[in-house]
Every structure is written in structure tokens, then in C-alpha cells.
Chain A
């Protein structure tokens, strides 16, 4: 037997990559704001009200919805949001 005091690491041995946050925009004037509904009940009510307020402030609003709240957003949806929006607001509701 080799040294019984050695064990194998059961983890993924993964170092979390450090990712820089995207800088916050100074203003939402003229910005494309994505509203992502995760499809939990009444999330749309909250987002509808948010859309009204954002439009009043001159923002361009785009609406998106996940197929189900139980899974992460599909990669195509994420790409669509990233390409079309300057900022995104995700609604959690229940």
C-alpha cells in the first residue's frame, strides 16, 4: 500500500475564472433594454410596468422570454439578447 495519508481530490478541480463585469451605462437614453421574462407566474405583470417606465425615459425596449424557468436560457436566446441589447433586466417572480 502506498501512503494511506494521501487521498484523491473528489472535486472538479476547477478554478473559477475571474470575469470582469461589463461597465454600467451612465444613462439609458437611447439604450436598447432587454426584458427577460423567465416565465414564472406574474413575471409579465412586473415587466409590463417596467416597460412603460423605461419607454417614458426614452429607452428602446425589447421583450424576451425563456421557454421554462426550470432551465437556463437556451444559447440562441442568450446570443439574441447579447446582440440586440445594451442592458438586460431579468424578472424573477412568483
Chain B
């Protein structure tokens, strides 16, 4: 913002500053001498009393002048600042104003106070507003009688649950979660094959309820979903129940507080819930994949709202999923799988790894139909209690895999191999 300053002296003050209150009589003295003086007040448009200050409580002028300390005194010639003082110093103010006995009764020197532009909340809000103004997405003005939440439903932008209205400020704050440029194309999103920017992902992530630090995971998930390997178009078009399951690995899962423990596949964790939801909102809103449209699911399943969890790596009997799929353990990554809803396997009788693996295999053979064991892939999530059995038996994943696939030698979804993701899974590393 450019501010056209009046020529003469310009002072920026706030009532909350003792030094500003101290110099109020000095400003009154300057005004009484008919010197050209304009005063901007940051916090109280009546301060200093009787001197007709200009209201700068919105801080537009203070930000434009990059005021650091109050009081700030400027000399302005032809609309441009030519000199600046901060705080009170008789030694400096007297020659600056040309009034030799200025502030005679005041102490010779007092430091000023921090400008209100440094208020952390205010600075963040203004930065967000300024960043928000630079975003490219179309602005949609909501009507005065519209409820914000209802307005999102009425425009067809939600998955059936309320969303957070994506104001420019919220989107700008979310974009702070990545170093990627808002204009960068993340993926071309089916079915409409729309080039999707980092910004569009952020808009939908705001709606889903994400925090800024989740954004790298959401971006990676969108990227993975739109690869030919994962084929989100086919996943939408199928009449089958499936939707994208996002499995997250690596240190980022702990940093952003993902749940890899009790109820990991269930509700109650913001990161798990909103990352999976953000992906689905991108597919819906950017890609145009909607139920009844290209999404031809006959019945669907509740995991299509959101289905995302982290692997519990620290006490797993096996290496993490993303390591098996070729990434370093120190990296964070997502692996996508076209998943139906979870179903349980119960085995409270097996006392050794082989017996337990046989239980898994028997159950996995019947996930869709016992005669179609080879037609469908599966992800097997092994709980820590069952994992302990394999760990104590020293059962490595490949040997476990062989023992758990009787009668399904070619490509059966085995207990441990399947855990490494299906051939159609797609993994993408998270970039911050």
C-alpha cells in the first residue's frame, strides 16, 4: 500500500506508550506554533487529546511506513520521507523541528515502545490477509443473508459434512505449511483432468479441517492418487465399494500428531481424519468426481469420507511400509490403496506365528468371495498384539508370507506381503 504523506512533520504514536504520552505536550507545542504537523494514532483515535490525530487503528499507514517504534517522527518533503526519529530525545527533536527549547520540562531522553504493527496476532492476520490477496482462486462472495456453513453445502462443495469456509486468510495460513509455490501444479486430477495447484489443494485442505503442518501429507496424497499407477479415475468409476486409503509413514506422522495407536483406523484424531478427507474433497471439487456422476459406486462405504492412518513403526516386527517400497526410513511418505471398509479378523486361540498366519490367510481368502481369492488385493493391518507373536517367533515377512498362503501360490493377498501394499498401491514421498 502506498501512502501519500502530507508535507511537514508526521508523528506516529499510541496512547498505550508512556513515551508517547510524555511527548503529547511537545506535539501540542509544535501544533500551537503552526508548524505543519500530522499525527497518526495507532490505538486511540482521540489521542493525543485535542490535537485532531488521524485514525490509524487499522495500521495501514504504520505498515506502509514500516514503523518500528513509537513515537516516530518523520520529516516529509514533496510527499516523501526525508528524515526519521524514534523515541524521545530533546537533543534530536529540537534541531529536527527547529524549536530550540522543545520539551523543556521533560527528561532529556526516553526510549519509545514497540509499534502496534509488531503485535504478533495482528502481524500474522495482516500477513495472511496480504498473502490471501495474492492467491489466484476465484473469489466467491457470500450473500449477507447466507450462513457460511450452509453456503458451502448449497454450492455443492462438501462431502455431506460441514466444511470450514476457505477464506483467503485461512488458505494463506495453511500454505505456510509448505515451501512449494502456490501456483505449482501438483497433479492433473481425474475425472475432469484439471491441473491442480498447491493453492487448490490448500483450499480443500482448509475445508477438510487441516492444519498447515498436514499440508505436505495432503499434497503427497493428491500426487499419488493421480498417478497412472494408482488410477483414481478407475477407482471412481468402479461400481465397487472402494475409495482411497492413505497410509502415512515416517517421522512426519509423529511431528503432526497422527494416530498410529488405539483406534488408529477410527475417529478422533484430527490429522488422520482431515488428511484423508482433504484428498477426497480435492477429487470431488477439483477433479469433479462425485457420487452419481463419475463415482459409480453402487453402495460405497463410510471410509470414502476419509480413510487415513499412520503405521506404528517403533515396535513393529517388520520394517516400515515405505521402506519396503523403496524409500529411506528417514523420509516420510504416503502409500495409497484402493480400499473397502476394514473388517476384523479374530484369533484368540493361536499360540504361534504359523497358526496365526494361517488364520490371516483363511480370512483373507474370503474378503470378497472364497472363489475369487486372487481377484482382489488386500491390506492386512496387524495389531501390536498379533505383531508381538511374529516378532517373538523371529518371523520375517517373506517366510510369514509363504506360510500364510496355502492354495494361493501365485498372487494371493498374504498376511505380510499384502501389508506392503498391493501392486496397484502408489507411494509418494512427502515434501515440505
Contacts and interface: CB of A to CB of B under 8 A. Distances in A.
Interface in A62-80: 70-72
B132 A12 contact: no
B37 to A, nearest CB: 32
Contact of A10 (B125, B148, B189, B204): B204
Interface in B278-307: 281, 285-288
Contact of A14 (B157, B171, B204, B288): B288
Nearest to B142: A5
A7 B286 contact: no
Contacts of B168: 2, 6, 8
A44 to B, nearest CB: 19
B169 A2 contact: yes
A12 B281 CA distance: 12
A20 interface: no
A9 interface: yes
A14 to B, nearest CB: 5
B233 interface: yes
B238 interface: yes
A50 B238 CA distance: 26
Determine the interface band of chain B, counting residues with CB < 8 A from chain A.
Answer: 35 or more
B140 A7 contact: yes
Contacts of A6: 139-142, 167-168
Given A2-B133, A70-B234, A7 B166 contact: yes
Nearest to B201: A10
Contacts of A13: 137-138
Interface size class of A (residues with CB under 8 A): 10 to 19
B167 A8 contact: yes
Given A2-B132, A71-B233, A10 B228 contact: no
A25 interface: no
Given A7-B167, A8-B167, A8-B171, A1 B129 contact: yes
B378 to A, nearest CB: 17
A23 interface: no
A8 B137 contact: yes
Contacts of A8: 135, 137-140, 166-168, 171, 203
A20 to B, nearest CB: 20
Interface in A8-28: 8-14
Q: Which among B125, B141, B168 has the greatest number of chain A C-beta atoms within 10 A?
A: B168
Contacts of A12: 189, 192, 194, 196, 200, 285-288
Q: Which of A2, A3, A7 has the most CB of B within 10 A?
A: A7
Interface string B97-116: 00000000000000000000
Nearest to B151: A7
Interface string B47-64: 000000000000000000
Interface of A: 1-14, 70-72
21 contacts: A1-B128, A2-B133, A4-B148, A4-B167, A7-B165, A8-B139, A8-B140, A8-B171, A9-B138, A9-B139, A9-B140, A9-B203, A10-B157, A10-B203, A11-B157, A11-B286, A12-B189, A12-B192, A12-B194, A12-B200, A12-B288
Top 8 nearest A-B pairs (CB, nearest first) are A12-B194, A70-B234, A8-B137, A9-B138, A10-B285, A10-B203, A5-B142, A12-B286
Given A10-B207, A12-B192, 6 more contacts: A6-B167, A7-B142, A8-B171, A10-B203, A11-B285, A12-B288
